[in-house]
Amino acid sequence: MIYKRFYLVIIAYLAGIILFTLALAFNLGKDLTYTVISSILIVLLTVSFGLWLNRTNKKLAYFFNAVRNEDTSLFFPEGVGFANEKLLNRSLNELNNKLKEARISIELQEKFYKSIMEKIRTGIISFYKNGVVEYTNPEIKRMFGLEHISHINKLKVIDPKLVDMLAKIESGEQKRINVKVGHNLMSLAVHSQTIIMQNREVKIVTLQDIKSELDIHEMDSWQKLIRILNHEIMNSVAPITSLSSTLSGFYKTGEVHSSPENITPRIISDTIRGLNIIENHGKGLIHFVESYRSFTQLPKPEFTRVNVEEFFERIVILVNGYFDSNGYKNVIKPVIGTTVSPKDLTLMADDKLLAQVFLNVVKNSIEAFGEIREGNTIELNASKDRDGRVILTVQDNGPGMDQETLEKVFVPFFTTKESGSGIGLSLSRQILRLHNGNITCDSAPGKGTTISMLF
């Protein structure tokens, strides 16, 4: 409608100018009065037409400039001017209101999606091909403990392998990487997607710590395996029962006992040998079942307020008792140091279960030394991290472990010792999980081992 009115106004102006131009041409030299009047009308129409076009163009330019500057407060008066101007003003106001509604809708959507990005427990980072970071959500900052990430190379302080993965991961590809941040070991599921934004390629990567889920699935799997093993072990008692029956047959037939004169030295020798076999198998099975049963049937923790400094003192006494009862009386004991900051640090825990964890870990350190010699040290440390969580560590200066061994230390049944059961650290991890905590291991060949417990 507005374009039709605009078109009609232009036609009216042009028709008037043409009409008076013809009148001027017809009266030129004949009637001076008509000539002057026609000339004046032509000038007035031309000036009026120019002013009208200029006013309309300025109004449109002003409107488009406001749109370009995202100024939606613009308003044109709808009750002044000619009908076509009123219609133009009303149309521009309606268009401006539509733009305002669209912008508000977009802003609400942005706030909605931003709120989601800030609340989800999945880290999101987007960056260009050159590594310059476009966006990171708060979870990324919390995950890595970094306030501002302007380039993915800043993540090298966390792990250079992570930066290399981010740079090389393809669109639609999924990978997993283990990353240690402080005392936290994270198993990150990484997914990448590439989009084109303003003619530039942007890689959007999500990172989610799935370690707890993996640990739970791993523990469930191992517990099922242990139940099966227990079943199979009990079945293995059958040969012992059979051997017992055979030995019993040496001394009776049915319900009738053999007379002493029928018992030969050969029978006595076979009996003794069979009993030794039964004894050895029985002891081995009892030890095996009891060890692994403790792994699947931990008691429920009884939480009390534990003074860490006093707890460390008890651990040192227990370790010295371990030395005295295991033939280490005449050897140089490792120096066991303790550091607690602050001095009055406490935590809610089951001190008996926690003591079991520390004895397992310290015993591992002692056995890792191999040869007990001067200079062996074990440090028990306690402190709080920046989030107020308690961190307990056991650090030794032993031979350390290679990466392959380090990745398996918490796997049930895995051991590097000939007489080891392979459940010490696995049991410790389960105890820490009952405390809503986590245990990690950091080690390298020749650089000792550090076990960290985060509550």
Q: Could you state, in order of their start, the residue ranges of all structural domains in the chain?
A: 2-115, 120-209, 214-296, 304-454
- How far is CA 213 from its chain centroid? 11
Q: What's the longest Cα–Cα distance across the chain?
A: 172
pLDDT tens, position by position, 128-168 = 989 999 888 888 888 888 888 889 999 888 888 989 999 98
Length of the chain, please? 455
Task: Provide the CATH number for the domain formed by 120-209 in this structure.
Answer: 3.30.450.20
**Range in 40-49, 174-183, 185-194, 362-371 with the lowest mean pLDDT:** 40-49
pTM over 0.75: no
DSSP for 293-347, please give it.
HHHH-PPPP--EEEEHHHHHHHHHHHHHHHHHHTT-TTSPPPEEEEEESSTT-EE
Percent of the chain whose predicted confidence (pLDDT) is above 90: 9
Rounded to the nearest 10 degrees, how much is the dihedral formed by the CA atoms of 346, 348, 350, 353?
Answer: -70
**Coil, helix or strand at residue 73:** coil
Of the candidate CATH numbers 3.60.15.10, 3.30.450.80, 3.30.565.10, 3.40.50.1000, the domain formed by 304-454 belongs to: 3.30.565.10
Cβ neighbours around 270 below 10 Å, total: 14
**Range in 180-184, 294-298, 368-372 with the lowest mean pLDDT:** 294-298
> Which pLDDT value is given to residue 381?
94
> Which pLDDT value is given to residue 371?
66
Residue 184 pLDDT exceeds 70: yes
- How far is CA 388 from its chain centroid? 20
What is the helix (H) or strand (E) element at residue 189, kind and residue range? Answer: strand 184-197
pLDDT tens, position by position, 402-427 = 888 887 777 766 666 655 556 678 78
